[in-house]
Structure formats: structure tokens, C-alpha cells
Amino acid sequence: MKRNLLKIISVTIMLLSVTVGCKKDQNVTNVILDKNNITLTIEKKAILTATIYPEDAANKAVIWASIDESVAEVANGIVTAKKVGITTITVTTEDGNHKAECSIKVIFLTEDEGVVINGVKWATRNVDMPGTFAENPEDAGMFYQWNRKTGWSSTDPMINSDGVTTWDNTDSEGDTWEKANDPCPSGWRVPTHEEQISLANAAQQWTTVNGINAYTFGSDSILLFLPAAGCRFSYNGNLIYVGTYGRYWSSGIASDIHACNLYFNSTDVKTNTYYFRADGFSVRCVAE
């Protein structure tokens, strides 16, 4: 009896060995993405994760693609928004040609809740492309020359918002910032010199948020964050003083070639400063 039992066990082990040894590679049966829809602003990124089924599939290689790469690009699941529009990101398995999709919508950021300081409602973010806000309060956005609507990048290389205009080192004309040239989103405008003075009269502090130097204005519960984005020099558009100081245009002027602005560095805040209108400064809007 004992000998027969040992024989049965031995045969069973041999059969199991044969079965395991002959196990076939598992083919891919499906692929899914962790997101079906994503909304991004220009130059922002998102990460898509593809899950292959079955988990023990032999070949998990996939191919990423964008239906319209001018709207959004994709590389290894990392999506980068390029311009306003809609596109579809696809992931396709090499084994079995299984496919999953994610719809991508790229938008301008035009809305802001704002904060009220000394009776004036300020946007919480700088102007980015004309008619849009930067995504985060610490983002520099774009620079603008006084009474002109073309935005200039706050990083190098220097690019502009329309892709055509060249840097103009002449000073614009007029005695106020014209509505047609105001880069603020709808419902907002460039602040007056008096409104900047009112802001400077609020509590203030030099600080750093997410590695960005800035001044905050207001109380602990209501704070306005203005990044020290630097500026572009009027003569040639060179980017200077990033992280060292901030300059923000007002709609008021002081002379034929200068205009008023809010200036700050790590130790001081001034509103009685006047610089060439051809300088590229930040714009922080107030509600109309």
C-alpha cells in the first residue's frame, strides 16, 4: 500500500512538471488608461498610465500617439499641451493591437476668483497669454510693454504671444493704457497707479513659495502673491533680474517716455518708480 502511494505521488509530480514546462506565453487581451478625459492649459503636463491585461502577459510593450500633435504631444505616457484645441491620445499594444484612448482638451485660463485688499479686487495670478491668467499664483506669466498687448515670455529663449511680432524698443504713445491694448481677461483691467499705492499700503512680506521669490500683500487669511519675475530690458528685450525683483505696470504715466509701476525687491516696495514704456514688465489685473 505504501509502495503504491509513493508511486502515485511520483507520477503526479512528473505530470505537474510536464504541465509547467509546457505552459504557453500569455497573450495580451486588453489595455486600459487610468484617465478618459483631461483638461490642460498651454505648456502644462499630465501623466497617463496604461494597464495591460492579463498581468502576466509576455509582451507588455505599447505605442503612444496623439491624433493632433499640434494640440498635445505624448511620450511614454507624458502628455504636454501645446495650443488651444482638442485631440485624442491613444495607447496601442504591440501584442494584439489592443487600443485605449484619452480625450485631451487644451484651454486658456480666463477665470479668477480674486481677493479684495483695501477695497480693490485683485486677480490672484499674473497675466499669461493676452486674455488669460497664469495657472498658479507663483507662475510669472508673460511680460508686457506699456500700452501694448503682445506678451513676451518670462524665460529664455524670448518668444512672443503671436509668434510674429519682433521686439520694439520704442516707447508707446498715449496718456493712458488703452482698452484695446489691455491684456487682462474679460472683466479685468490693468490697475491704476492709485490702486497700486493702495495695495502697497497693505501688510507686506518678502517670501518664497515653491522655490519662487515673491512679495505677499494683505492679511494671513487674505494674501496676494506677486512673484519676483524680473523683466525684459527695453533696449533689446534681454531677460534680467529673475527672482531678484518684480515690476508690475499701472495704467498711469509720468512723462512722454515713462510710466508708473509697482516695484519690489527683498527689502523694499515702491510705487513712485517710473521706467521706460518699452520695458517688459508683469501685469497683475484688478476687477472692472
Average pLDDT of the chain to the nearest whole number: 90
* pLDDT at 28 (0 to 100): 95
pLDDT at 23: 53
What pLDDT shows up at residue 10? 52
Whether 35 contacts 63, CB under 8 Å:
no
Q: Which of 56, 85, 107 is the last residue of a domain?
A: 107
Do the domain assignments include residue 48? yes
Q: Note whether 239 and 157 are within 8 A (CB).
A: no
Domain range for 189 is 115-287
List pLDDT tens digits, range 68-115.
Answer: 999 999 999 999 999 888 999 999 999 999 999 999 988 778 888 899
Look at residues 74, 89, 107 and tell me which one is the last residue of a structural domain: 107
142 and 264 together in one domain: yes
Q: Which three cell numbers stand for residue 108?
A: 486658456
Three-state SS at 142: strand
pLDDT in the model for residue 4: 53
Residue with cell 498651454: 42
Residue 183 is assigned to a structural domain of this protein:
yes
- Please identify every stretch of the chain with a pLDDT value under 70, giving residue numbers as ranges: 1-24
Per-residue pLDDT at 6: 46
Instruction: Copy the grid coordinates of residue 164.
Output: 510674429
Cell representation of residue 184: 487682462
**Per-residue pLDDT, 169:** 96
Which contiguous run of DSSP H or E holds residue 6? helix 2-21
Using CA atoms, how far apart are residues 252 and 194, in angstroms rounded to an integer? 9
Q: Is 274 helix (H, G, I), strand (E, B) or coil?
A: strand
pLDDT given for residue 24 in this prediction: 66
CB atoms within 10 A of CB 107: 14
pLDDT of residue 281: 98
Nearest C-alpha neighbor of 126 from the set 283, 288, 286: 283
Residue 284 near residue 122, CB atoms below 8 Å: yes
pLDDT given at position 85: 86
Q: How many CA atoms lie within 13 A of 118 on its CB side?
A: 14
One domain, residues 39 and 142: no
Domain boundary among 107, 124, 141: 107
Task: Clarify whether residues 210 and 90 are in a common domain.
Answer: no
User: What pLDDT does 188 receive?
Assistant: 97
Q: How many domains does the chain have?
A: 2
